[in-house]
Structure 1
C-alpha cells in the first residue's frame, strides 16, 4: 500500500477546510472513486488542515492527488489557498 498526506496551511487554508467540511459527502465520493482506494481521512488543524489517502499502490495515490487538485480548482479557486505540502510513501503498518 501507499499513502499520501496533503497539508494545507497559510492563506486561505482555513476557508478551504470550511468548504470541505460543508461538502464532505462529495469529497468522500470523489476519493472513493480512486482506483485501489483503501481509506481517506480529512482533519482540521489550527491553521488549515490535512488529508491522508491510502491506496493499494502509488498509481492510486497519484490519482487521488490529481483529483484533489482538480476539485479545488473547480470548487475553491476563489479562496486562494496555497498548494499543499505533499508527503508520500510506502505503508509499513496499517491497523484498523
Structure 2
C-alpha cells in the first residue's frame, strides 16, 4: 500500500460510497456480507480527521436517506491501525 494508513472505521450499514470517496484522506472501502443478515463496511483513511468527517457525513446520509430502514444506530468501532499486510 503506497499511502500511510493510520486510522480506520468499521460500520454495519452501507449506501454512501460516492459520498465516502469525496472525504479528504480516503484510502479504501470494503463491504462484507457476514451472513445471517449482517453486513459490515470498513472505511480506511490517512488520518483520524478523514474518519471523523465521514462519521458526520454518514450520520446525515442515514438520517436523510435510510432512517426508516435503519431504526437502530450502527455499531461503530474506530481506532489506529497497528498492523497491515
Q: Which runs of 5+ in 1 are unaligned?
A: 9-16, 21-26
Question: 1:44 corresponds to which residue?
Answer: 33
Calculate the aligned-residue CA RMSD, in Å: 1.7
Aligned residue pairs, count: 79
2:29 aligned counterpart, secondary structure: strand
Measured in 2, the distance between the counterparts of 1:51 and 1:81 equals 18
The answer to which structure has the higher helix fraction is: 1
2:41 aligned counterpart, secondary structure: strand
Measured in 1, the distance between the counterparts of 2:79 and 2:68 equals 31
What is the TM-score with the length of structure 2 in the denominator? 0.78
Question: 2:49 corresponds to which residue?
Answer: 59
Q: Deviations over 1:8-28 (max 9, x none)?
A: 5xxxxxxxx6xx3xxxxxx22
